[in-house]
Amino acid sequence: MSSYQVIDLITQYQSNFPVWGVAAVFSFCLILILSLEKAKRKGVPGDDIFGLVSMTALGGLFSARIAYLLMHQADINFISTLSWGEVFYKGHLSIVGGYFGAVIVGWFYLQGFAALQRSKMSWLRFSDTFLYIIPLGLAFGYIGVFLVSISKGAITNQAYPWVFPMADSYIHPWGLYIAAGYLFLFMILFILNQRLYEFRRPGYLTSVFILGVSTIHFFADFWQTTDLAYGDPRIIGLTITQWVAIIVIFITGLTLLFRRARNREKV
């Protein structure tokens, strides 16, 4: 089967089946199962983990949809926001909105339901304990994004082994680039968690996660299309996601430098 036939098959299939929706559910289940297993070993109540993962997933999904509509200056109402086809068939969501919504909902859940007190951890230590699992689930989720947005990749005239043919040119598999980035980030965080979790100050693994996610989306968006209606809007040549990534990397870097200087003063 040729690459053209693969693209045609996926395009026809995704209109009748929620490819991204299935990938998203699989991603959620994977993160939930691994988090529950980790919670069992760390003595954290499983009910808290189930509630946290469920609420952050719903909060992230809802805010990702709202952010997408705002970025594309679309009407925001009940029907457009909760459109089954737009969300689970086409994956018209914003990664920036998803992350911010998930963080806000997760923080309120941990504080409002006293989950941190029951786990006997600070929120940074709690984050270090479980956050490294998320990239593995998102890697599978972005495979689903790739399947529903093959044509969203930037066009190239170079016939690289990994690009897909489209008309008289080729397109970059933008979603697969992000999936590979998340898989690589998971491996880094997994190794650091095994070797440094007990020896580093709380927040170290969380900072690596934030820097990793921001870096992945900053570079991946260079291979995203710029000339289609559903392509992310750009400001001075960069997408909104890229500008947010720059700001997040800058703030996280300053925070790490500040904490390092503060620790030296204490010594």
pLDDT at res. 249: 92
pLDDT at res. 35: 93
Q: Is residue 198 helix, strand or coil?
A: coil
**pLDDT classification of 24: cutoffs 50, 70, 90:** confident
Note the pLDDT tens digit of each residue in 174-220: 888 899 999 999 999 999 888 876 667 788 889 999 999 999 989 98
Percent of the chain with pLDDT over 90: 23
Is 180:170 a contact under the CB 8 Å cutoff? no
Q: What Cα–Cα distance (Å) separates residue 18 from each residue in 51, 86, 102?
A: 25, 10, 22
**pLDDT classification of 7: cutoffs 50, 70, 90:** low
Q: Please, which residues bridge with residue 165 across strands? A: 170
DSSP letter assigned to residue 163: -
Note the pLDDT tens digit of each residue in 219-256: 988 887 655 444 566 777 788 888 989 999 999 888 88
User: Mean pLDDT for the chain?
Assistant: 81
Judged against a pLDDT cut of 70, whether residue 123 lies above it is answered with: yes
User: Torsion over CA of 186, 187, 192 and 197, rounded to 10 degrees?
Assistant: 50
> Does the predicted TM-score (pTM) go above 0.95?
no
Continuous segment of H or E residues that includes residue 164:
strand 164-166
d(CA 49, CA 29): 12
Is 182:30 a contact under the CB 8 Å cutoff? no
d(CA 94, CA 75): 16
The token duo for 156 is 């190239």
Instruction: Report which of 140, 266, 134 is spatially closest to residue 206, judged by C-alpha positions.
Output: 134
Domain ranges of the chain: 3-266
Is 54:25 a contact under the CB 8 Å cutoff? no
Is 100:126 a contact under the CB 8 Å cutoff? no
d(CA 196, CA 206): 12
The residue with greater pLDDT, 252 or 165, is: 252
Note the pLDDT tens digit of each residue in 64-79: 888 888 877 767 777 7
**pLDDT classification of 262: cutoffs 50, 70, 90:** low
pLDDT at res. 185: 95
